[in-house]
């Protein structure tokens, strides 16, 4: 494995229905074995067809429940044993949750944080150990500008992303020099199934645009990718806004 380029091995998509994750996998698919990991894994025929049409050598669907933390080590070890070395692992599962409900229902707030932060910590720690043992590999982690400075309008989801962003940043530093590369992706509002019915925010993007930036970042072995790039200076300025103004910011 060189300093640049895509790591050799299978492409593992954790969150096999993720629109962004699938677009990333489709770009990496030509000639590769792709593993789609999701709940109800028998109902992924549409996703399998898209990847097969995209040139994947083979596509396998495996059952995966991100919230079943105890299953993560055995699950990932089985993937590597059955399908070979993992080249790129795309961690793309997550939920947006219902902010209004989460403010009234602690169980819902905890469920959002469980999936968007706790489960990610478990998977990423296990993946990092597995790829360290391989001596190479790449991990894609999806953060969000919602976690750069948490807003009142979506603070439960935003707080989970803030935690994930910090964890992934530290993990990337811990992996430095091991041959394992972690790409942290900070997205803005992405127009897709997860945000259906919501008014798009300024500087919105599509899953296709995010995926293109992710694959470019993987090739370049970048540490962080903002999508779109304009969000980096925008949120540098946002951090300077007084709290009295910030708390009135919309989603």
**For 145-200, how does the pLDDT look when each residue is reduced to its tens digit (9 = 90+)?**
888 889 898 999 999 999 999 999 999 999 999 999 999 999 987 876 766 556 66
Q: Which of 160, 150, 151, 104 is nearest to 248 (CA)?
A: 151
Token pair for 172: 């990337």
* % of the chain beyond a pLDDT of 90: 76
In this prediction the pTM is: 0.90
Give the model confidence (pLDDT) of 58-103 as tens digits. Answer: 999 999 999 999 999 999 999 999 999 999 999 999 999 999 999 9
Helix (H, G, I), strand (E, B) or coil at 219: helix
Active site includes 157? yes
**Quick check: 1 pLDDT over 50?**
no
Q: Are 10 and 84 in contact (CB under 8 A)?
A: yes
User: Does residue 233 carry a pLDDT above 90?
Assistant: no
Mapping DSSP onto H, E and C, the string for 101-146 reads HHHHCHHHHHHHHHHHHHHHHHHHHHHHHHHHHHCCEEEEEEEEHH
Burial class (CB in 10 A: 0-12, 13-18, 19+), 228: middle
* Cα–Cα distance measured from residue 245 to residue 135, given in angstroms and rounded to the nearest whole number: 48
Question: Residue 196: what pLDDT?
Answer: 58
- Cβ proximity of 156 and 102 under 8 Å: yes
- Of residues 199, 204, 196, the one with CA closest to residue 228: 204
Which is catalytic among the residues 83, 117, 155, 157?
157
Preceding amide of 228 cis, omega within 30: yes
DSSP 36: E
């Amino acid at each position: 494995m060189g300093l640049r380029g895509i790591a050799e091995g299978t492409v593992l998509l954790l969150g096999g229905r993720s629109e962004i994750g699938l677009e990333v996998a489709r770009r990496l698919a030509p000639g590769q074995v792709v593993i789609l990991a999701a709940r109800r894994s028998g109902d992924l025929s549409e996703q399998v067809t898209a990847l097969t049409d995209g040139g994947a050598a083979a596509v396998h669907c495996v059952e995966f429940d991100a919230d079943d933390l105890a299953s993560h080590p055995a699950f990932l070890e089985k993937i590597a044993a059955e399908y070979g070395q993992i080249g790129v692992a795309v961690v793309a599962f997550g939920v947006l949750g219902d902010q209004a409900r989460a403010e009234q229902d602690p169980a819902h707030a905890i469920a959002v944080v469980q999936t968007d932060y706790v489960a990610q910590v478990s998977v990423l720690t296990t993946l990092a150990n597995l790829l360290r043992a391989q001596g190479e590999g790449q991990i894609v982690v999806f953060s969000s500008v919602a976690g750069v400075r948490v807003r009142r309008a979506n603070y439960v989801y935003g707080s989970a992303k803030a935690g994930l962003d910090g964890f992934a940043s530290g993990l990337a530093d811990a992996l430095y020099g091991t041959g394992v590369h972690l790409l942290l992706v900070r997205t803005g509002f992405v127009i897709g199934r997860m945000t259906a019915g919501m008014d798009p925010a300024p500087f919105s993007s599509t899953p296709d645009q995010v995926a293109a930036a992710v694959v470019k970042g993987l090739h370049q072995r970048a540490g962080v990718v903002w999508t779109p790039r304009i969000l980096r200076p925008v949120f540098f300025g946002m951090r300077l806004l007084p709290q009295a103004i910030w708390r009135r910011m919309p989603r």
